[in-house]
Amino acid sequence: MQQPKARREMDPRWMWDLNGILEGAPAFDGRTLLLSVEDKNGKASHYFAHDGQGEVLPIVVLVNERSASASEIFTGVLMSYGARSVGEKPYGKGIVQTVYQLSDNSAVKFTTNEYRLPNGSLIHGTGITPDVELSFEDYGDVTSARVNYAGGEETDLAGDNQLKEALRLLNGD
């Protein structure tokens, strides 16, 4: 991946710019494998990226023990193609559960498939190990349960040790 052209500052918008992470990734028939969903018999469905779009940008994903399922799979896919991660080991949920409605309008839910990352590894039960394992350090009135990166309630991010580490990685320090 290319180095950033300018230093990234404490700006949460950089956490969401994900174009181009898959450039140079292994391709199958000209397509980049993102994810496989496999049943108990080993039959898999594969999901591919639409290649040839975007630009290469450095990416660092913040994760914690509450990151699970879709966010954890997304992080694993990005890491498979060069993104870095900072934080605490995620929950480890990478299965597909299906709900079947019964004739009496009750339902039963059971596991039908599991997700596999591009390299074939499973997430479920093990989680993803961040490149930099770093526990969130509370600051002021901000705790790991209360930090908000996505907007809404304003949070002063200047004291966030995980975000500072992510920015350090992005800047190549």
For the stretch 67-90, pLDDT in tens is 888 889 999 999 988 899 999 999
Q: Give residue-wise pLDDT tens across range 88-106.
A: 999 899 999 999 999 999 9
Helical spans, DSSP H, in the chain? 70-80, 161-171
| Domain 12-167: which CATH number of 3.90.15, 3.40.630, 3.90.226, 2.60.40 | 3.90.226
Q: What is the pLDDT of residue 51?
A: 65
pLDDT at 41 over 90: yes
Q: What is the pLDDT of residue 140?
A: 82
Question: Do 26 and 32 form a contact (C-beta atoms < 8 A)?
Answer: yes
Split at pLDDT 50, 70, 90, the class of 28 is low
The DSSP bridge pattern shows strands 107-116 and 31-39 to be: antiparallel
- The whole-angstrom separation of Cα 136 and Cα 48 is 34
- The whole-angstrom separation of Cα 5 and Cα 114 is 39
